[in-house]
């Protein structure tokens, strides 16, 4: 199984690669200068799932999952559309 440090290193590179594939080439982004922030991760049933963000202020965040059984990594890109506030009364 991947350790946390190795998972984060591979995930950050996968996110950087995804950014290169999905951004407009005319934006002339210096991909090497983009900060990729590791927010949190969890280990569930032999898999690792992590949340990441970047220094690009585009509202996107990334969920990376490593499946230890198949040795595959999945990178999902999300955009926050809306947030509702709920007041919980005790």
Residue 24, number of CB atoms within 10 A of its CB: 7
Residue 73, number of CB atoms within 10 A of its CB: 15
In a domain, 75, yes or no: yes
For residue 33, give its domain range: 4-79
pLDDT at 42: 95
In a domain, 19, yes or no: yes
In a domain, 56, yes or no: yes
Instruction: State the total domains in the chain.
Output: 1
pLDDT per position as a tens digit, 61-88: 999 999 999 999 999 999 988 889 999 9
Q: Residue 69: CB partners within 8 Å, gap ≥ 6?
A: 46, 47
Asked if 48 contacts 66 with a C-beta cutoff of 8 angstroms, the reply is yes
pLDDT at 50 over 90: yes
pLDDT cut 70: percent of the chain above it: 100
């Amino acid at each position: 199984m991947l350790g946390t440090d190795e998972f984060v290193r591979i995930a950050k590179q996968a996110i950087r690669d995804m950014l290169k594939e999905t951004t407009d080439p005319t934006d002339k982004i210096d991909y090497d200068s983009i900060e990729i922030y590791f927010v949190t991760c969890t280990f569930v049933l032999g898999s690792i799932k992590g949340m990441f963000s970047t220094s690009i202020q585009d509202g996107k965040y990334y969920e990376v999952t490593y499946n230890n059984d198949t040795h595959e990594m999945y990178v999902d890109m999300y955009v926050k559309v809306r947030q509702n506030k709920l007041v919980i009364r005790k």
